[in-house]
Structures are given as C-alpha cells and as structure tokens.
C-alpha cells in the first residue's frame, strides 16, 4: 500500500466574516429542522390516533402541519445546510476565499424566502404540501418564498463556480482537489435540475396566484415539479456523500482507496439524477408507457453510484477498523470508534440507508410501484433516506462543524451518542409501521385518525409509526440539547480546530483519461443531451398544454 495523500489542501483558514456567514446558514438549517421535527411528531402520532396538532397555534389543520413539516425539513433545512457546508468544503479545498458578499446574499435570500413561505403557511394560506400540485392554490408569498430559496442555491452555485474559475487560472493543468470537485459537481447537478421547479413556480404558479393567469395545467406542473423533484433528493443526499467520502474515513482512521472512482460517482450523479422524474408519475395519465420505461431504466442507472458508494465507504471503514486491531471478516466493524458522535451518527445513517435504498428500488419497479404508490410505504421509504441518511448525517457533521465554527468544544458527548441511537431506533420502528401499513393499503397524506375507512390491520402499523416518531422526536431533542449547550456553554477550544480531511491512497492521475473527469463542461453537455432524450418527446407531444383547471382552496 502506498503512502496515503491528503485529498485536499488544508492549512488555509477562511476569513472570519465568511465563517460567520456559514455559521448563520447552519444555524438557519437547524432552526428549520427544530420546527420540522415538532410537526413530524404530530404527523407520526396521527397514525396512532393521537392528536397533538390542535395544541400548536398555526398548525391546527392536518395539511397545514404537513406542509410546514415538508417545507421546513425537506427544503429550508437541506438547502441551508448544503449552501453553508459545501461553501466551506469548496473554499477549504481550493484554499482560497469565496466571495464574501455572495455568502451573505445567500443567507439573506434564504431568510427572506423562509419568512415569506412561513407567513403563507403559518396563516393557513398555503396548505398545499411541499409538492404544491395545482389546481390547489396557495398565497403568492408561498411561491415567491420557495423561489427565493431556490435562488439561494443558485447564488451558492455561482459562488463555487467563481471560486473554481479563479483557482483554475492560478493553477493551470492541476487536477481539481477532490473535495472541491465533489462539492461543485453537486451544485452543477442541481443548477440543471432546478430549472423545472423554477419554470413552474415563476412562470406558471406565481402569476396564477396573482391572478395574471386564469387557469393552471396540473399535468404540466406535476411534470415540471418532478423534473426537479427527483434530483432534489440527490441534492439532499450528496452533501452527506461529500462527508461520507471526504470526512468519515478520517473519523474512522481509514483512507479512501480511489480518488478516480469518487469523481466517477459524482459525475454519474450529474448525468443520471435528472432524467428519472417520471418514476414519480407512473400512475399519471398523459405520459406514454415508453417514456416511463426510459425513466425507469435510468432510475436503475442512478442506483449504481450509490452501490459504488456503499462499497467504497465500507472499504474505507474496514481499513480504519483493521488499523484499530479488527481482525476476521466482521470484527473490524466493531472495532470502529463507537465513541465518536460524529462517526456514530453517520454510521447509523448509512446502515439505515441500505434499507432506504432497497425500498427505492422497489418504488422504481414499474409494476411494484402500483402496489405502494400513495400509500404509507412512501414516507416509510423517505424517512430511511432523507429522514435519516441525510438528516442524521447532517447531525453527525454538526458534531464537529459546530465546534469548528464556534471554536467551542462539544458539550455532552454521551448525550450526542445516545441521540443518534434513539433517533435510529425511532426511524426503524416508524418505517416498519409505515411500510407494513402501506403494503396493507394504509394511505399517506391522510388524516387517518378521522378516516371512516380504517382497517383493523392498520392499528399495529399506526401504533409503531407513532412510537417510532416519538423516539425520533426524543433523539432530535437530545441533539438540540447538545447543539445549544455547545453554542452557549462549550469550553473555548485551545489550539486550532481543523476540518477532518480524508486521505486517499493515490494522488489523482496527472495524465491519461482520468484528467478528462475534471472537464465539467463535457459532463454538463452530456447531461443536457440525456435530459432532452428523456423529456423532449413528452413536451413536443404535450405543449402548449391544457390550461383549463380552476383553482381550489380547501383551507
């Protein structure tokens, strides 16, 4: 084995003002998560017929609570975290400051977007869920708020790109540092992916809610939504993957075995994340079966880089476990540092994600999808992906990131460890409830406690869902106690605090085909071609659309 090399240069420190902007983005992210988990508890308890939503002003209505839960957890929390975290990783990896003004502009745009959307949701004028399908119509401030949240990700993307361009000018012919490569690839993917939601919100729904357009076209808006709505799940996931590749091996005392393969994985996500949206629309009329089959096939394609990730990261962990004295086939796993909260949270996130991934494969299978679409199975699937692979990983990252950003030591390490275990137990119990109920026809997005058609067999499923959700809430509560304790009472760290950088076995190749991996321009062109193959036939046949639906507001 060769001497490992550090994957990205360290030693460079971001200007104090930049760190402050990033710190506020991370605070905003976790502030949103805190609101979201209170709502989440209400949603989970609904399945076990316990009504707590009535006690929360501004969340009295089931769909109001569910909208707040979806928007703050799946959009505000994830976007704010990605904007802050990947700005930091890019700047550190390139060893140069990003544009400080843009960092603050990102923060301000997110706050404004959040306030506008919160106003609409809090006053009960936007109970349209985070998918906002027309003809359900929300208050204009909801759409404008969401649009601004998307703009904040574009501003971050521009900032990363400007940083990369400057770095390239100063370092001609040098390979992009791996950590910058994976961060920029994430934003390049999302820049192309977010076009659908932007066209739908700014071009159709916002003017419609302002009375400028009279009617809406549900199928067109759904299609534009899912054009962005599938890749958005990778925009949530990839910052966690950045950490699994670039930091978790370091926590575990291991090394990453291939720089090249890591780049290939992120290029595959860039290429394949977007042309898959119809797997959310298998049951929609008006889209040909042939087009659905293309999206199904590409969905199996985008499964592949996650499989590669599973084996790459597992190998890095194995190296760490063996260096700590692990022997035999499995003993290395138990030798990992199970006392490090940042590592444990992310290991548990990975373990849960194996189940989340498998359920994804079932969703993607056209005929199996018919059995579980719109049932409680789906929230079962996505709480084992975004609800744990992503959220628990971000919590794990926070255990070193908050001390790094505040220069204070983590308070309550034991509580932090316990929090991850309780949270994971909660996710698994809740998913067990939702998944078994879903297989038995228990619907999602339904006020089960007042449904007149409940099946007796849903009772156990509902109770497990409520119990699991309560455990998740307790785990989340413990996490916030640690977080707030650290920010307010953490001991000032002595000496410099650094980001945990993973090392790789080999430096990136300086000649040969691997060098071409860094040419983002080619990958972006290839991605656009794939998008055209996957979407153009539908739009050619469907446009100019059917703008005939009159708006509904049941709230």
Contacts with Cu ion, residue ranges (CB under 5 A): 230
69 in active site: no
Q: Are 337 and 251 in contact (CB under 8 A)?
A: yes
CB of 363 to Cu ion, least distance (A): 7
Q: Is 381 in the site for ligand HAS (CB under 6 A)?
A: yes
Q: Is 222 in the site for ligand HAS (CB under 6 A)?
A: no
Largest CA distance in the chain: 69
CB of 190 to ligand HAS, least distance (A): 13
DSSP state of 513: G
Q: Is 162 in the site for ligand HAS (CB under 6 A)?
A: no
279 in active site: no
Binding window for ligand HAS (CB under 6 A); candidates: 185-193, 380-388, 418-426, 454-462: 380-388
How long, in residues, is the chain? 555
| Nearest CB to ligand HAS, comparing residues 386 and 430 | 386
| Pattern 283-302, ligand HAS, x by CB under 6 A | ----------------x--x
Residue from 54, 288, 331, 354 that binds ligand HAS (CB under 6 A)?
354
| Nearest CB to Cu ion, comparing residues 141 and 273 | 273
Binding window for ligand HAS (CB under 6 A); candidates: 173-181, 378-386, 396-404, 499-507: 378-386
280 in active site: no
Q: Are 193 and 226 in contact (CB under 8 A)?
A: no
Q: How far apart are CA 162 and CA 408, in angstroms?
A: 31
Residues 6+ apart with CB under 8 A from 130: 67, 70, 71, 74, 75
444 in active site: yes
CB of 73 to ligand HAS, least distance (A): 10
Q: Which residue is nearest to Cu ion (CB)?
A: 230
Given ligand HAS, Cu ion, none, residue 390, with its beta carbon under 5 to 8 Å by kind, binds ligand HAS
Name which of residues 116 to 135 contact ligand HAS (CB under 6 A).
131
* DSSP SS3 for 189: helix
Q: How far apart are CA 83 and CA 108, in angstroms?
A: 12
| Nearest CB to ligand HAS, comparing residues 82 and 98 | 82
Other CB atoms within 10 A of residue 414 CB = 11
CB of 516 to ligand HAS, least distance (A): 26
Q: Is 368 in the site for ligand HAS (CB under 6 A)?
A: no
Residue from 35, 86, 378, 534 that binds ligand HAS (CB under 6 A)?
378
Task: Tell the residue number behind the tokens 């275990």, with chain if given.
Answer: 421
Residue from 361, 368, 526, 532 that binds ligand HAS (CB under 6 A)?
361
Burial class of residue 329 in the structure, from the number of CB atoms within 10 Å of its CB (0-12 exposed, 13-18 middle, 19+ buried): exposed
Packed helices 520-542 and 178-193: angle between N→C axes, nearest 10 degrees: 20
Q: Are 200 and 130 in contact (CB under 8 A)?
A: no
Residue from 351, 449, 460, 499 that binds ligand HAS (CB under 6 A)?
351
381 in active site: yes
CB of 255 to ligand HAS, least distance (A): 15
How distant, in Å, are the alpha carbons of 203, 274, 464 from that of 156? Answer: 22, 20, 40
Q: Is 66 in the site for ligand HAS (CB under 6 A)?
A: no
Binding window for ligand HAS (CB under 6 A); candidates: 18-26, 142-150, 347-355, 504-512: 347-355
* DSSP SS3 for 121: helix
| Nearest CB to ligand HAS, comparing residues 390 and 448 | 390
Computed from CA positions of residues 325, 329, 331, 334, in that sequence, does the dihedral angle turn out positive or negative?
positive
Residues 6+ apart with CB under 8 A from 444: 374, 375, 376, 377, 378, 379, 438
How distant, in Å, are the alpha carbons of 29, 136, 184, 352, 507 from that of 11? Answer: 27, 52, 21, 35, 18
Q: Are 501 and 247 in contact (CB under 8 A)?
A: yes
Given Cu ion, ligand HAS, none, residue 215, with its beta carbon under 5 to 8 Å by kind, binds none
Burial class of residue 516 in the structure, from the number of CB atoms within 10 Å of its CB (0-12 exposed, 13-18 middle, 19+ buried): exposed
| Pattern 240-279, ligand HAS, x by CB under 6 A | ---------------------------------------x
C-alpha angle 342-343-346 in degrees, rounded to nearest 5: 90
C-alpha count within 13 angstroms, C-beta hemisphere, residue 24: 14
Q: Which residue is nearest to ligand HAS (CB)?
A: 357
Residue from 369, 406, 420, 424 that binds ligand HAS (CB under 6 A)?
369
Residue 549: phi and psi, rounded to 5, are: -80, 135
Nearest to 113 by CA among 77, 141, 86, 138: 141
CB of 555 to ligand HAS, least distance (A): 19
Residue from 88, 146, 191, 350 that binds ligand HAS (CB under 6 A)?
350
Nearest to 177 by CA among 501, 400, 401: 501
> 69, 444, 479, 538: which one is catalytic?
444
Binding window for ligand HAS (CB under 6 A); candidates: 133-141, 190-198, 353-361, 456-464: 353-361
Given ligand HAS, Cu ion, none, residue 242, with its beta carbon under 5 to 8 Å by kind, binds none
445 in active site: yes
> 132, 235, 382, 538: which one is catalytic?
382
Residues pairing with 5 in the sheet: 504
**Known catalytic residues?**
230, 234, 381-383, 444-445
Residues that bind ligand HAS (CB under 6 A): 131, 233, 236-237, 279-280, 299, 302-303, 306-307, 309-310, 313-314, 317, 333, 350-351, 353-354, 357, 360-361, 363-364, 369, 373, 378, 381-382, 385-386, 390
């Amino acid at each position: 084995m060769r001497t490992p090399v550090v994957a990205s240069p360290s030693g460079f420190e971001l200007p104090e003002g930049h760190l402050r902007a990033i710190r506020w983005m991370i605070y905003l992210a976790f502030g949103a998560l805190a609101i979201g988990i209170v709502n989440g508890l209400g949603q989970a308890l609904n399945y076990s017929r316990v009504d707590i939503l009535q006690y929360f002003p501004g969340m009295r209505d089931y769909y109001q609570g569910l909208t707040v839960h979806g928007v703050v957890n799946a959009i505000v929390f994830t976007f704010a975290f990605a904007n802050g975290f990947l700005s930091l990783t890019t700047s550190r990896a390139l060893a140069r400051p990003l544009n400080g003004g843009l960092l603050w502009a990102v923060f301000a745009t997110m706050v404004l977007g959040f306030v506008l959307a919160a106003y609409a949701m809090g006053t009960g004028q936007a109970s349209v869920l985070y998918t906002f399908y027309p003809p359900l119509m929300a208050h204009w401030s909801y759409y404008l708020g969401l649009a601004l949240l998307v703009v904040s990700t574009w501003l971050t993307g521009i900032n990363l790109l400007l940083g990369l361009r400057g770095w390239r000018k100063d370092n001609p012919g040098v390979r992009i540092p791996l950590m910058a490569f994976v961060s920029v690839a994430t934003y390049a993917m999302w820049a192309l992916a977010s076009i659908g939601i932007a066209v739908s919100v700014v071009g159709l729904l916002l003017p419609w809610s302002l009375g400028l357009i009279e009617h809406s076209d549900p199928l067109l808006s759904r299609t534009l939504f899912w054009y962005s709505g599938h890749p958005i799940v990778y925009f949530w996931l990839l910052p966690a993957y950045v950490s699994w590749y670039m930091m978790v091996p370091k926590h575990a005392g291991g090394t990453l075995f291939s720089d090249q393969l890591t780049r290939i994985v992120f290029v595959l996500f860039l290429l394949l994340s977007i042309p898959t949206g119809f797997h959310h629309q298998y049951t929609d009329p008006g889209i040909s079966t042939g087009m659905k089959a293309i999206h199904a096939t590409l969905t199996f394609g985008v499964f592949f880089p996650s499989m590669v990730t599973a084996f790459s990261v597992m190998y890095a962990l194995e190296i760490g476990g063996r260096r700590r004295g692990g022997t035999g086939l499995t003993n290395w796993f138990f030798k990992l540092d199970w006392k490090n909260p940042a590592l444990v949270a992310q290991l548990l996130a990975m373990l849960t994600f194996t189940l989340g991934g498998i359920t994804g494969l079932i969703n993607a299978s056209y005929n199996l999808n018919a059995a579980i679409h719109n049932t409680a199975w789906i929230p079962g699937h996505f709480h084992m992906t975004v609800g744990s692979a992503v959220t628990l990983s971000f919590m794990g990252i926070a255990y070193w990131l908050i001390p790094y950003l505040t220069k204070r030591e983590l308070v309550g390490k034991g509580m932090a460890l316990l929090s991850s275990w309780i949270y994971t137990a909660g996710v698994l119990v809740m998913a067990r409830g939702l998944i078994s109920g879903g297989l038995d026809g228990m619907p999602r997005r339904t006020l089960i406690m007042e449904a007149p058609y409940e099946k007796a067999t849903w009772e156990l499923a509902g109770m497990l869902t409520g119990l699991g959700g309560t455990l998740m809430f307790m785990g989340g509560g413990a996490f916030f106690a640690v977080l707030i304790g650290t920010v307010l009472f953490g001991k000032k760290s002595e000496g410099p605090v650094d980001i945990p950088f993973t090392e790789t076995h080999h430096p990136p190749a300086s000649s040969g085909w691997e060098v071409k991996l860094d040419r983002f321009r080619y990958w972006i062109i290839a991605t656009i071609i794939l998008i055209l193959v996957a979407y153009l036939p539908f739009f050619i046949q469907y446009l100019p659309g059917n703008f005939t639906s009159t708006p509904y507001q049941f709230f």
